[in-house]
Amino acid sequence: MAFFTLRGRFKRPISPLWARCQVVTAGVALPVEPTKRQCFCVDPAVKSDRPLPLTILPSGFYFRTETGGMLLMGKSMAEDPVGFDFTWDQNRFMEIMWPELAEFVPAFESLKLVRGWAGLYAVNTLDGNAILGEWPELEGFYLANGFSGHGLQQGPAVGRYMSELITGSTPTMDLSVFSARRILEGRPLTEGGIV
């Protein structure tokens, strides 16, 4: 999101997915692309007797249990299209994800694909991490963008941090490592656990 302030009054936030298109009007270039991601929900023949934690394989394939013993899974791939594409491809599951799941957990070889959907990640192409704080060259122009899919996990901390920055309070947490200055300096953060 990008927040604009004017004499202490907050303007409406911009959606993270449209931010790159809109912040260019302020002369800001963000390395953020709307990138399609797909999720699939399956009903395995063999159900776990307890909830499974979020499991991420080295390939980027991830899964976790969902309500009713279902499994929710996805895999970010380099060829995922950039742009506002919400089409869902069942073949992605059948040809790529199901074989990988069955190899990792043979008990999940038999299952039923229940549903799937496509959505967008606001992917920070510099380093896959959030861009937080005031843009160094534009006073009153705050960013919370580029989460690359892990914004929901970081949302509560980011919300508190951003509200403290915008109101001039001393931040409770030091999230300055995610500052927008690193974008201007081309200084990526190293993070290996992004899916």
The structural domains of the chain, ordered by start, are: 2-31+125-185 (3.50.50.60), 35-122 (3.30.9.10)
Q: How far apart are CA 88 and CA 83, in angstroms?
A: 14
Q: Mean of the per-residue pLDDT values for the chain?
A: 85
Residue pLDDT, tens place only, 134-174? 998 888 888 898 888 777 778 899 999 999 999 999 999 99
Tens-place pLDDT, residues 31-74: 998 899 999 999 999 988 889 898 989 888 999 998 888 999 99
Closest CA to 195 of 61, 35, 17: 61
Question: What does the pLDDT average to over 72-83?
Answer: 91
